[in-house]
């Protein structure tokens, strides 16, 4: 979902007038928020804007380059 | 500014240690067509870009390249877990190991450390965008060459993702070039440099 949003975001850089892509991005954006919340509840905060502000939650293993994270 | 997100753009989960493959793939970390050069090239070129579409695409692609740098570093890291002295020697990984142990250092497969001589920032919009198109093709062909040597599906999968991204970026830069030429003198694209001449 986040990847699809990123792809639309890049497309809109060079096609800022494309309404279909902008609409699709808006639709994904509204769905992504809930998914992000679900992910963070399971795996911990994604960055410092996350709801979970515990220092331990942020520094907790695994980090993205570790096999266990993927 | 930049904000870190604690996850990879695309998952990397490699079960088998393979230092010989790590030695090749590290070229996309610090080699002449690698991701650090790509990111520095685009993020540095954007200052002299004259049009909003071009500022946006260089910022966004330059940012995505940092996510790719992290993926390539992850692939190298996971391919060099739990190395035995025998594996290090058999794979010819000893020449890297002696300086870096199992750390991830930006270096080309041939052993040359990362160098900003591998890219250009000319301050000329046409020249910079052509460089960017060429850079995406050079990164694509390097991933194609990596795929000739990689038979582990755990490695091939993220490499194929990275290869596909080069093709998408090439497309976006091509659109950027057309946006640029549409705004130039159609009888002589080189009549003025929109990055410098007002």
Q: d(Cα B43, Cα A35) in Å, to the nearest integer?
A: 30
Is B175 exposed, middle or buried, given 0-12, 13-18 or 19+ CB atoms closer than 10 A? middle
Q: What is the pLDDT of residue A49?
A: 82
Do the Cβ atoms of B41 and B132 come closer than 8 Å?
A: yes
Q: Which residue of A has its CA nearest to B79?
A: A67
Residue A22 has pLDDT above 80, yes or no: yes
Measure in Å the smallest separation between the Cα of A52 and chain B Cα atoms. 13
Distance of CA B198 to the CA centre of its chain: 33
Q: d(Cα B176, Cα A14) in Å, to the nearest integer?
A: 6
The answer to whether A10 contacts B61, with C-beta atoms less than 8 Å apart, is yes
Q: d(Cα B65, Cα B75) in Å, to the nearest integer?
A: 15
Q: What is the pLDDT of residue A12?
A: 98
Instruction: Tokens 């502000």: give the residue.
Output: A53
- Within 8 A of A9 by CB-CB distance, chain B residues are 60
Q: What is the pLDDT of residue A60?
A: 94
Predicted model pTM: 0.96
Residue ranges of B 2-31 with Cβ closer than 8 A to chain A: 3-15
- Model-level ipTM above the cut of 0.90: yes
Q: d(Cα B21, Cα B91) in Å, to the nearest integer?
A: 9
Q: What is the pLDDT of residue A53?
A: 76
**pLDDT (tens digit, 9 = 90+) per residue, B143-198?**
999 999 999 999 999 999 999 999 999 999 999 999 999 999 999 999 999 999 97
Residue ranges of B 93-152 with Cβ closer than 8 A to chain A: none
Residue ranges of A 4-63 with Cβ closer than 8 A to chain B: 6-7, 9-11, 13-16, 44-49, 58, 63
How many domains does chain A divide into?
1
Residue A36 has pLDDT above 90, yes or no: yes
Provide the domain limits for residue A38. Answer: 2-69
Domain boundaries, chain B: 19-182
Sites in chain B below the pLDDT cut of 50 = none
Does domain B19-182 fall into CATH 1.20.1260.10?
Answer: yes
Q: d(Cα B77, Cα B71) in Å, to the nearest integer?
A: 10
């Amino acid at each position: 979902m986040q990847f699809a949003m990123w792809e639309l975001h890049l497309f809109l850089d060079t096609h800022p007038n494309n309404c279909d892509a902008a609409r699709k991005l808006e639709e994904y954006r509204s769905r992504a928020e809930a998914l992000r919340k679900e992910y963070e509840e399971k795996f911990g905060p994604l960055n410092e804007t996350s709801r979970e502000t515990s220092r331990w939650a942020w520094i907790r293993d695994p980090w993205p380059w570790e096999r266990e994270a993927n | 500014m930049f904000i870190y997100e604690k996850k990879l753009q695309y998952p990397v989960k490699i079960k088998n240690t393979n230092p010989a493959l790590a030695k090749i793939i590290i070229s996309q970390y610090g080699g002449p067509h690698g991701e650090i050069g790509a990111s520095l090239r685009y993020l540095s070129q954007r200052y002299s870009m004259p049009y909003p579409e071009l500022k946006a695409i260089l910022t966004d692609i330059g940012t995505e390249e940092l996510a790719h740098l992290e993926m390539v570093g992850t692939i190298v890291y996971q391919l060099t877990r739990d190395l035995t002295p025998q594996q290090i020697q058999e794979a010819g990984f000893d020449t890297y190991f002696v300086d870096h142990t199992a750390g991830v250092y930006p270096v080309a497969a041939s052993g040359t450390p990362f160098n900003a001589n591998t890219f250009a920032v000319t301050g000329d919009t046409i020249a910079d965008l052509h460089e960017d198109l060429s850079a995406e093709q050079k990164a694509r062909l390097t991933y194609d060459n990596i795929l000739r040597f990689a038979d582990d599906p755990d490695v091939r999968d993220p490499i194929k993702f990275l290869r596909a991204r080069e093709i998408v970026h090439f497309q976006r830069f091509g659109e950027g070039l057309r946006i640029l030429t549409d705004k130039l003198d159609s009888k002589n694209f080189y009549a003025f440099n929109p990055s410098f001449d007002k």
